[in-house]
Chains A and B, each alone.
Chain A
Amino acid sequence: DQQVKQNSPSLSVQEGRISILNCDYTNSMFDYFLWYKKYPAEGPTFLISISSIKDKNEDGRFTVFLNKSAKHLSLHIVPSQPGDSAVYFCAARGNTDKLIFGTGTRLQVFP
């Protein structure tokens, strides 16, 4: 049973436009949600996170929105840049420190 789901395997966005990456979860006990960017054959890089008591967190071009009633979060990247092309993972953590990842969304930003 996959507790964290990223239902879009890929997304293609034009440079300068907004990229929206989505993530759904099933466990209402998750306290924190994290987003990572990953290049092939490298470790994921932490981008931004949000606590379950908030509905929005912003850091530069990256904003994460959390809708607890829908068990849904999204990562917005504005404006998108070619260097943003990578695989993005969302992850969720409960009170046991267990950190569970989704399957990832491949973002391609084209000129």
Chain B
Amino acid sequence: DGGITQSPKYLFRKEGQNVTLSCEQNLNHDAMYWYRQDPGQGLRLIYYSQIVNDFQKGDIAEGYSVSREKKESFPLTVTSAQKNPTAFYLCASSNRPDTAFFGQGTRLTVV
């Protein structure tokens, strides 16, 4: 089946630790995105990538890092510098300007 897979669905992290969220797509899409959603809030853009080996900061990139070494993969690392990392993280991909498709999300909780 074609689609976007985010893993894991739930993730727990101790304060001060880095953690990496996985996002894989087999749709052959060039563009990929990472968003964060907090309770009762909208989707805020963390990073996006238009093509392999290139990515741009979104509106809330501080404390996060990404890589785009392969077209199908866009992992997000939440570093210890992110002051409030507990949130619902969503990955999306797109190959047309009029659509974009999302994965099912990863809920990260700092314990």
CB 8 Å contact bits of A14-49 with B (1 = contact, 0 = none): 000000000000000001101010000111111001
List 19 A–B pairs whose Cβ atoms lie within 8 Å, in order of A's numbering: A36-B102, A41-B88, A42-B104, A42-B105, A43-B102, A43-B104, A46-B99, A46-B102, A49-B99, A97-B31, A97-B50, A97-B94, A99-B92, A99-B94, A100-B59, A101-B42, A103-B41, A103-B42, A104-B41
Contact of A41 with B42 in the complex, beta carbons under 8 Å: no
Return the contact of B42 from the options A46, A97, A104 (Cβ within 8 A). Answer: A104
Return the contact of B43 from the options A45, A46, A89, A93 (Cβ within 8 A). Answer: A89
With an 8 A cutoff between CB atoms, is A61 at the interface? no
Contact of B101 with A46 in the complex, beta carbons under 8 Å: yes
- Give the interface size bracket for B toward A: 20 to 34
Q: Which residues of chain B have C-beta atoms less than 8 A from A101's C-beta?
A: 35, 42-45
CB 8 Å contact bits of B74-111 with A (1 = contact, 0 = none): 00000000000000101010100111111111010000
Q: Which residues of chain A have C-beta atoms less than 8 A from B6's C-beta?
A: 43
Interface residues, chain A, CB within 8 Å of chain B? 6, 31-32, 34, 36, 41-46, 49-51, 89, 91, 93, 96-104
With an 8 A cutoff between CB atoms, is B64 at the interface? no
Q: Which residues of chain B have C-beta atoms less than 8 A from A6's C-beta?
A: 42
Q: Which residues of chain B have C-beta atoms less than 8 A from A93's C-beta?
A: 97
Contact of B33 with A99 in the complex, beta carbons under 8 Å: yes
Q: Which residues of chain B have C-beta atoms less than 8 A from A102's C-beta?
A: 42
Given contacts A41-B107, A104-B42, contact A99 B102 (CB under 8 A): no
